[in-house]
Amino acid sequence: MAHRWQNDLTRDDVTPYGAFMNRRQLMAGMAGLGLASIAGPAAAEDLKPNAWDEITSYCNFYEFGTGKSDPAANAGQMTTSPWKVEIDGLVDRPGTYDFQDILSEMTIEERIYRFRCVEAWSMVIPWNGFELADLLNMVGVKDGAKYVAFETLLRPEEMPGVRYPTIEWPYREGLRLDEAMNPLTLMATGLYGKPLPNQNGAPLRLVVPWKYGFKSIKSIVRITLTDKEPPASWNMYSAREYGFYSNVNPTVDHPRWSQATERKIGGGLFAKRIPTLMFNGYESEVAGMYEGMDLSKYF
Ligand code: MTE
């Protein structure tokens, strides 16, 4: 797989605006979707990917412990091959699909996305993956389907964190069907052109770049098309604190902290916080889906 970002820029390069615009043209039509709306030098700086070590050592994957370094320390023991994904509910071709068979039908591309955790830290991550829409079209979505539900593997013998009732296991998440079909919504299989490390959700995880990171559920074993809003783990834990939508929104604070700014991982202890962008910078691609909705109510 091509290392598009690294081929002509090292991670230590400052990215001047002109260089960024060139890059944008290079990527147009390939992986440019997430970049098309980005304007201005601040955004250019913004899209400098975090280092491999930062992305793979500072993780949230509570099945392996609640500390940021627990997933890197413990997730190695998760068996990821063979890997099956059950796809059921309102689909034309329900079944248990082998991950390798899914891969053989999909086109893998690179998407460099901002990633904003609800805890107010962020990274820029060069994912590899395919559009969730392609997978849903492969299995055929039936009329009447309105939501997509996802479930993470639950295998206590390999997951030390599930001994504790931090949340109700298995980890679950959900999207509205139009959100799931949005071209930005990615099923990630890798990062930096390498297979996804276990701690980042191998072999297959969701990436929804305009939503808080907890929506991007890891190590998926089940996808269900349904007509009802599905249960989502953090929302079940506290609906007051973690809404079903959880779109990144600097004007709607978490009850216990502000969402107006974020700390970009890798900037050092004293780095200035950067402003959080509406829909994490993907407003022009996604705002239309929420037209007429009160975003402080449907947060
Ligand atoms: N998926 C599962 N199954 N378990 C988790 O604990 N944490 C979420 C999300 N997906 C989580 C999960 C949260 S809070 C975040 S911020 C991202 O994964 C972190 O992804 P990363 O560790 O690859 O950066």
Ligand 1: distance of its center to the CA of 213 in Å? 6
Quick one: tokens of 257? 């902290």
> Regarding the domain with residue range 11-290, which homologous superfamily does it belong to in the CATH classification?
Oxidoreductase, molybdopterin-binding domain (3.90.420.10)
> DSSP assignment, residue 91?
B
Q: How far is CA 66 from the centre of its chain?
A: 19
Strands 121-131 and 261-264: parallel
Express each pLDDT in 46-91 by its tens digit. Answer: 789 999 999 999 999 999 999 999 999 999 999 999 999 999 999 9
Question: Which pLDDT belongs to residue 151?
Answer: 98
Instruction: Confirm or reject: Cβ of 276 under 6 Å from ligand 1.
Output: no
Q: Is 180 helix (H, G, I), strand (E, B) or coil?
A: helix
Q: What are phi and psi of 163, to 5 degrees?
A: -70, -25
Q: Is 109 helix (H, G, I), strand (E, B) or coil?
A: strand
**Residue 150, strand partner residues:** 173, 223
Ligand 1: distance of its center to the CA of 189 in Å? 15
The pLDDT of residue 1 is above 80? no
Q: If pLDDT is split at 50, 70 and 90, which confidence band does 24 have?
A: very low
The amino acid at 219: S
The pLDDT of residue 40 is above 80? no
* Residue-range domain boundaries for the chain: 11-290
Express each pLDDT in 133-165 by its tens digit. Answer: 999 999 999 999 999 999 999 999 999 999 999
The pLDDT of residue 20 is above 90? no
Instruction: Confirm or reject: Cβ of 152 under 6 Å from ligand 1.
Output: yes
Helix (H) or strand (E) holding 25: helix 17-27
